Amino acid sequence: MPELSLSQAKTIIAAAFEKAAELNLKPMAIAVLGPGGNLKACECQDGTSLMRPKIAHGKAFGAISMGLGSRALFERAKQEPFFINAMNTLADGALVPVPGGVLVRDESGNLIGAVGITGDTSDNDEQCAIAGIAAAGYQADTGG
């Protein structure tokens, strides 16, 4: 299975921070997970709140665990909240079903990781994740 490297994870983070600066967004926390849900890298800008790294991880973890971008999980939560609550229970509360958790796919469509970003609105968080993933040469899958 293809693997997302630490160097690529750092490229994603740097580009996502650049996009956040371009859009003049609030301070961001970014978590990048490998294909098995293992943490590859996590960085928080100065001024992020205490919970932001956990939220970023939860967005990415939910996406990689369910195989869906967190936008799709968000829509599912609106339609079937009992299902997402059950999945969150199974995930020990680590699933954050709002936009900003984006799957990373290689050129063949293989799932190689996930990015979770939080700090601004969920839509802005997702936009930064997409920019970071593209900068690393991969395809972003938001689930939308």
Paired tokens of 83:
């299902």
Q: Is residue 50 part of a domain?
A: yes
Q: Is residue 1 part of a domain?
A: no
* CATH code, domain carrying 123: 3.30.450.150
- Give the predicted TM-score (pTM) of the model: 0.94
Q: Is residue 22 part of a domain?
A: yes
- Which residues constitute the domain of residue 43? 6-141
Q: How far apart are CA 81 and CA 101, in angstroms?
A: 18
Chain segment 7-31, per-residue pLDDT in tens:
999 999 999 999 999 999 999 999 9
Domain count, the chain: 1
- The torsion defined by the Cα of 91, 141, 99 and 32, in degrees rounded to 10, comes to 60
Whether the pLDDT of residue 1 is over 70: the answer is no
Question: Which residues sit opposite 143 in a β-bridge?
Answer: none
Q: Is residue 97 part of a domain?
A: yes
Chain segment 31-67, per-residue pLDDT in tens:
999 999 999 999 999 999 999 999 999 999 999 999 9
Query: How far from 29 is each of 13, 51, 85, 109, CA to CA, in Å?
Result: 9, 9, 24, 26
